Amino acid sequence: MARTTQRHASDVPASPARLGGRRKALKAETHERIIASAGRLARRAGLTAASVPRVMRGAGLTVGGFYAHFRSKRAMDAAVIARAMQEVREQWFDGLESSEGIDWLARAVKRYLRASHRDRPGGGCVLPSTISELTRADRVTRAALAEALEEVVCEFTEHTPELRDTTARERALATLALCIGGLTAARALRGHPLSDELLRACVKWALPEASARLSKSRRAPGRASEETSG
């Protein structure tokens, strides 16, 4: 009697198309691990600290596999800045859809310049730890930064009220510079009382309408008498 054999699906050789799809998926997954590792290092200690050996070690990979994903360290830096800034935008503006105008701007500024953001460099904005290096970066990396910042500026401009002799875009640009510079300085001064003072001053300067509103409420009838009687 002839024997019949059954072949399991696992015994059937994969087609070239299926093998190619698996390789692409594996390469994409590995690529993401490299970007994530480099981003963590860059946030904590800057782009220089995100060296190829440290990045690959953090991703659980060997150094030899790096060049299958990037032509150079500079190419990786550009990709890291682009991805990190995308994540910054998502975290920064998440949940602000219900606000508009000065209320949107106030929430955005206060969210970025809060003490918890200053004290958590590993999970916050990548720019305070990399901005000095980016001034010396190659053209491609600086172009990635410019593109990412332009998206942030456009979002700010859409919600930022104009001031006298200042367009919404000009104010958005200045506010963004104040946020990045203020957080960078506050992190450098972390642990010193000046750090908290600097954060509060930057918020106040970025939101003159809020300061004016508070000043007006303090001058309102009844409030002054209430304060003096206390």
Q: Output the domain CATH number for residue 179.
A: 1.10.357.10
In this prediction, residue 226 carries a pLDDT of 36
Mean pLDDT, residues 34-53 taken together: 95
Residue 61 has pLDDT above 80, yes or no: yes
Q: How confident is the model at residue 225 (pLDDT cuts 50, 70, 90)?
A: very low
Residue 160 inside a domain? The answer is: yes
Number of domains in the chain: 1
Phi-psi group of 6: left, alpha or beta (phi > 0 → left; psi -120 to 50 → alpha; rest → beta): beta
CA-to-CA distance for 88 and 160, rounded, in angstroms?
19
Residue 57 inside a domain? The answer is: no
Mean pLDDT, residues 212-224 taken together: 52
In this prediction, residue 227 carries a pLDDT of 36
What range does the domain containing 159 cover?
73-218
In this prediction, residue 228 carries a pLDDT of 36
Mean pLDDT, residues 182-187 taken together: 96
CA-to-CA distance for 60 and 37, rounded, in angstroms?
9
Residue 187 inside a domain? The answer is: yes
**13-24: pLDDT as tens digits:** 656 556 566 778
Q: How confident is the model at residue 155 (pLDDT cuts 50, 70, 90)?
A: very high
Mean pLDDT, residues 122-132 taken together: 92
- Which tops the pLDDT comparison, 226 or 61? 61
Q: How confident is the model at residue 7 (pLDDT cuts 50, 70, 90)?
A: low
Q: How confident is the model at residue 223 (pLDDT cuts 50, 70, 90)?
A: very low
Place of tokens 């970007």: 35
Mean pLDDT, residues 186-209 taken together: 95
Residue 56 inside a domain? The answer is: no
Looking at every residue in the chain, the average pLDDT score rounds to: 87
Residue 7 inside a domain? The answer is: no
Residue 153: name the closest of 193, 191, 105, 221 by CA.
105
**67-103: pLDDT as tens digits:** 999 999 999 999 999 999 999 999 999 999 999 999 9
Lowest mean per-residue pLDDT among 10-24, 62-76, 114-128, 139-153:
10-24
Q: How confident is the model at residue 214 (pLDDT cuts 50, 70, 90)?
A: very low
Residue 175: name the closest of 157, 194, 200, 195 by CA.
157
Residue 146 inside a domain? The answer is: yes
Residue 196 inside a domain? The answer is: yes
Please give the angle made by the CA atoms of 206, 212 and 214, to the nearest 5 degrees.
105
Residue 186 inside a domain? The answer is: yes
Residue 151 has pLDDT above 70, yes or no: yes
